[in-house]
Structure 1
């Protein structure tokens, strides 16, 4: 499990770093407005998740249950066949919708000042094909992940990220490709990913020749269909919640300012991409434990996950506070870029850290099939955001929206988390707050106060070496993680046991 989590973490972190590293290249060679269009395409890809309605979550869950021996081959094959048909039909509908709505999006939704409207329309139509392939890839990726083929999936994801982000850089810099070629390139990379995932799924889970597809109305499908609907509600609500700020930003901000806002939010999303793979890697195993009735083992994993997630989150926010402005300046090469993005970057980083901690409880709800209460809280969260975002963008621009996102996530932890965790254990939330969250936050406050006294952000802004700054930031991040981990007795005992074992062997 540790090896799977490590590979999953590495691949997601690699994607994040590669995706963020190429942004200055896009802005420099294509311009801020073209990058705004690329960012809008990524938002459309995220909106494809609205059609998921819980299918990918159900696919992973049923693959884990099948691997644990809790479901039969005939049922599992029928479930996959039915869901694949749903993916095909829904993907075709949405791809055609984006294709034929491209002109409206280019002329009425986006605020285009420099690019040719016909070119924008054509690029959005190419994006529709890319989004369709990405949507089908979600089906096969979910099955492989639930089957715990996590290590292979992580390695392949790293290869695809290299093709998608890094290999396109020399094409832009040295061959000076235009934006139209870039969109074609992204389409073929996505098609390659889809074809390889299809082959891998058929290699691990070949279809038996004598297997007959069951009807969706069969009694055996009652429980998974119920879970799918509940997980679907969770997926739709979460996509709306996570993308609401970007859609309001796309209409309240100019396309260039929207590009800068998207950069700040994407950079802050590094925290999620550092922490989310740990949650993802634990989901199949927690599902397996609950499927076999081992609640204690599942709760033990969740407790450790909350602790480590808090350590990772607060350490990363501290690094952003100390090095954030200097890293943005070194990343893009000028202070003007950092001045336009740093404040939003810092606030969103704090909000994303709270969100990462909140996400730990999801794996218990997901594994146990208890999604309804979470959906009620997500709906309340969405309604608050739909009211707060337009007002914050109108009166306080992107900074106001960042504070709204931070406040909503803190409120969710205080109000929703106790009730969500009490579904599984009444003592879980109080123990987590007293023994994990509060001690970590108090240590974080002490370290932040020390940063204020030493004025570290101002000191590190004086560093001119780009490579030295990134190395120092990474080294400081590791030191902070070690400090947070060794502040508790359990990691110290673990380390001492390892050292004693080493000296006994030698």
Structure 2
């Protein structure tokens, strides 16, 4: 499990770093407005995931059951056939909608100032093809992931990310390609990814010839359909919540400002990419423990996850507070870029850190199948954001949206988390707050005061060299994690036991 988790973690972090490091190249070569168009393409790809409605989760679950011989071959291959048809139908409909709506999006939705409207329309039509291929890739990825071919998938994901982000750098720097060639490149990479995934799925789960598939109306499909609908509701709500800010930003901000806003949000999203792989890996373990009646062990994992998430989240926010402006300056090479993005980056980092802590209760809700209350809470959250975002964007621009996202996540932790955790154990929330959150926040506040007293963020602006500032930030992040972990009795006791055991053996 550790090896799988490590590869999954590495691939996710690699994708994030590759996607973020390349942004200054995009902006400098293409301009802020073209990067805004690229960011809008990424937003459309995320919104396409709304059609998933739980199918990817169901595919992974049923594939895992098939691999464990908990379901028969006829049912499994019938299920795969039905879901593939759904993916194809939905993909064609939505891709066609984007293709024919491209002119409206270019002229009425996006605030385009310098780009040719006809070029923008054409590139949005190319985007429709990219989205269709990416949508189909979700189907094959879910099957491969459910088959627990996680290491191969992580390695292949790393290769695709290299082709998508890194391989485009020489094309930009040496051949000075225009934005149309960039979109063609993305289309080609997506086609390559889908082709390889198709062949990999066929290798691990060969198609069955001359099989008479079960109809979707069969009683055996009731359980997976119920699970799909429940998981789908949670997926749709979450994607609407997480993408609402970018959706409103694309029309309230100019295309150039939208590009800068997307950079800040994407950089802050690094926290999620650091923490999410651990939640993914813990999910099967908690599911197994609950299925075997080991409720106490499942609760223990959730408590430990809350503690770890709090440490990672708070340490990352501290690094953003101290090093953020210097990192943005070193990353892009100009102070003006940092001045336009740092404040939004900092507030979004705080909000994303809170979100990471909130995600800990998801694994036990999902494992136990108690998703209904979570969906109700998410629905309230979504309605609040849909009301608040237009107001805050209109009056306070990007900073208003950032504070809205922060406040709503804090409110979710204070109001929704105790209700969600009480479904499993009423004492969990109070214990987590008392023994984990408050002590960690107190230590964080003390460190902030210390940094402020020594005016550390300003002093770091004098540090010369990009490599130096990045290495210093990374080393400081690791030191902070050690400090936070050793602030509690259990990690100290574990460390002392390991040290004493080492000396006893020697």
In the aligned structure 1, how far is the partner of 2:205 from the partner of 2:287?
A: 20
In the aligned structure 1, how far is the partner of 2:285 from the partner of 2:68?
A: 10
In 2 relative to 1, CA 489–192 (structure 1 residues): closer, same or farther, beyond 3 Å?
same
User: Could you tell me how far 1:411 is from its partner in structure 2?
Assistant: 0.4
User: Could you tell me how far 1:209 is from its partner in structure 2?
Assistant: 4.6
Gaps of 5+ in 2: none
In the aligned structure 2, how far is the partner of 1:180 from the partner of 1:284?
A: 43
Find the counterpart in structure 1 of residue 156 from structure 2.
156
Find the counterpart in structure 2 of residue 59 from structure 1.
59
In the aligned structure 2, how far is the partner of 1:4 from the partner of 1:333?
A: 37
In the aligned structure 2, how far is the partner of 1:503 from the partner of 1:156?
A: 43
Comparing 59-68 with 229-238, which one deviates more in the overlay?
Answer: 59-68
In 2 relative to 1, CA 105–111 (structure 1 residues): closer, same or farther, beyond 3 Å?
same
For 1:419-498, list aligned pairs within 5 A. 419-498=419-498
In the aligned structure 1, how far is the partner of 2:365 from the partner of 2:68?
A: 19
Find the counterpart in structure 2 of residue 80 from structure 1.
80
1:315-374 superposed Cα distances (whole Å, 9 cap, x missing partner) = 000000000001111111111110100000000000000001111111122222221111
User: Could you tell me how far 1:69 is from its partner in structure 2?
Assistant: 4.4
In 2 relative to 1, CA 80–458 (structure 1 residues): closer, same or farther, beyond 3 Å?
same
1:434-459 superposed Cα distances (whole Å, 9 cap, x missing partner) = 22222211111111111111111111
Find the counterpart in structure 1 of residue 104 from structure 2.
104
In the aligned structure 2, how far is the partner of 1:483 from the partner of 1:72?
A: 51
Comparing 440-449 with 404-413, which one deviates more in the overlay?
Answer: 440-449
In 2 relative to 1, CA 211–431 (structure 1 residues): closer, same or farther, beyond 3 Å?
farther
Gaps of 5+ in 1: none
Q: 3-state DSSP class of the match of 1:319? A: helix
In 2 relative to 1, CA 180–454 (structure 1 residues): closer, same or farther, beyond 3 Å?
same
User: Could you tell me how far 1:294 is from its partner in structure 2?
Assistant: 3.4
User: Could you tell me how far 1:491 is from its partner in structure 2?
Assistant: 1.9
Find the counterpart in structure 2 of residue 310 from structure 1.
310
Find the counterpart in structure 2 of residue 33 from structure 1.
33
User: Could you tell me how far 1:66 is from its partner in structure 2?
Assistant: 3.5
Find the counterpart in structure 1 of residue 337 from structure 2.
337
Find the counterpart in structure 1 of residue 390 from structure 2.
390
Is 1:2 paired with 2:20?
Answer: no
In 2 relative to 1, CA 304–68 (structure 1 residues): closer, same or farther, beyond 3 Å?
farther
In the aligned structure 1, how far is the partner of 2:206 from the partner of 2:290?
A: 27
For 1:166-245, list aligned pairs within 5 A. 166-209=166-209, 212-245=212-245
Is 1:413 paired with 2:422?
Answer: no
For 1:256-295, list aligned pairs within 5 A. 256-295=256-295
CA contact (8 A) 1:64 1:284 kept: no
In the aligned structure 2, how far is the partner of 1:8 from the partner of 1:301?
A: 20
In the aligned structure 2, how far is the partner of 1:200 from the partner of 1:284?
A: 23
In 2 relative to 1, CA 359–128 (structure 1 residues): closer, same or farther, beyond 3 Å?
same
CA contact (8 A) 1:112 1:255 kept: yes
Comparing 316-325 with 292-301, which one deviates more in the overlay?
Answer: 292-301
CA contact (8 A) 1:35 1:259 kept: yes
CA contact (8 A) 1:65 1:71 kept: yes
Find the counterpart in structure 2 of residue 121 from structure 1.
121
User: Could you tell me how far 1:57 is from its partner in structure 2?
Assistant: 1.7
Comparing 419-428 with 312-321, which one deviates more in the overlay?
Answer: 419-428
Find the counterpart in structure 1 of residue 45 from structure 2.
45
Find the counterpart in structure 2 of residue 246 from structure 1.
246
User: Could you tell me how far 1:426 is from its partner in structure 2?
Assistant: 2.2
For 1:344-383, list aligned pairs within 5 A. 344-383=344-383
CA contact (8 A) 1:98 1:128 kept: yes
CA contact (8 A) 1:265 1:345 kept: yes
User: Could you tell me how far 1:297 is from its partner in structure 2?
Assistant: 3.3
User: Could you tell me how far 1:475 is from its partner in structure 2?
Assistant: 0.3
User: Could you tell me how far 1:211 is from its partner in structure 2?
Assistant: 5.2
In 2 relative to 1, CA 40–488 (structure 1 residues): closer, same or farther, beyond 3 Å?
same
In the aligned structure 2, how far is the partner of 1:208 from the partner of 1:190?
A: 27
User: Could you tell me how far 1:149 is from its partner in structure 2?
Assistant: 2.2
CA contact (8 A) 1:286 1:301 kept: yes
In the aligned structure 2, how far is the partner of 1:62 from the partner of 1:285?
A: 16
CA contact (8 A) 1:65 1:291 kept: no
User: Could you tell me how far 1:176 is from its partner in structure 2?
Assistant: 0.6
In 2 relative to 1, CA 348–492 (structure 1 residues): closer, same or farther, beyond 3 Å?
same
Q: 3-state DSSP class of the match of 2:214? A: coil
User: Could you tell me how far 1:121 is from its partner in structure 2?
Assistant: 0.8
Comparing 394-403 with 66-75, which one deviates more in the overlay?
Answer: 66-75
1:79-132 superposed Cα distances (whole Å, 9 cap, x missing partner) = 222111111110111111111111111111111111111111111111111111
Comparing 284-293 with 341-350, which one deviates more in the overlay?
Answer: 284-293
User: Could you tell me how far 1:286 is from its partner in structure 2?
Assistant: 2.6
1:116-151 superposed Cα distances (whole Å, 9 cap, x missing partner) = 111111111111111111111111112222332222
Find the counterpart in structure 2 of residue 130 from structure 1.
130
In 2 relative to 1, CA 437–72 (structure 1 residues): closer, same or farther, beyond 3 Å?
farther
TM-score where L is the length of structure 1: 0.97
Aligned length: 506
User: Could you tell me how far 1:210 is from its partner in structure 2?
Assistant: 7.2
In the aligned structure 2, how far is the partner of 1:212 from the partner of 1:283?
A: 34
Q: 3-state DSSP class of the match of 1:42? A: helix
In angstroms, what is the RMSD of aligned CA positions? 1.5
Find the counterpart in structure 1 of residue 24 from structure 2.
24
TM-score where L is the length of structure 2: 0.97
CA contact (8 A) 1:51 1:90 kept: yes
In 2 relative to 1, CA 115–423 (structure 1 residues): closer, same or farther, beyond 3 Å?
same
Comparing 257-266 with 454-463, which one deviates more in the overlay?
Answer: 454-463
In the aligned structure 2, how far is the partner of 1:444 from the partner of 1:143?
A: 42
Comparing 188-197 with 168-177, which one deviates more in the overlay?
Answer: 188-197
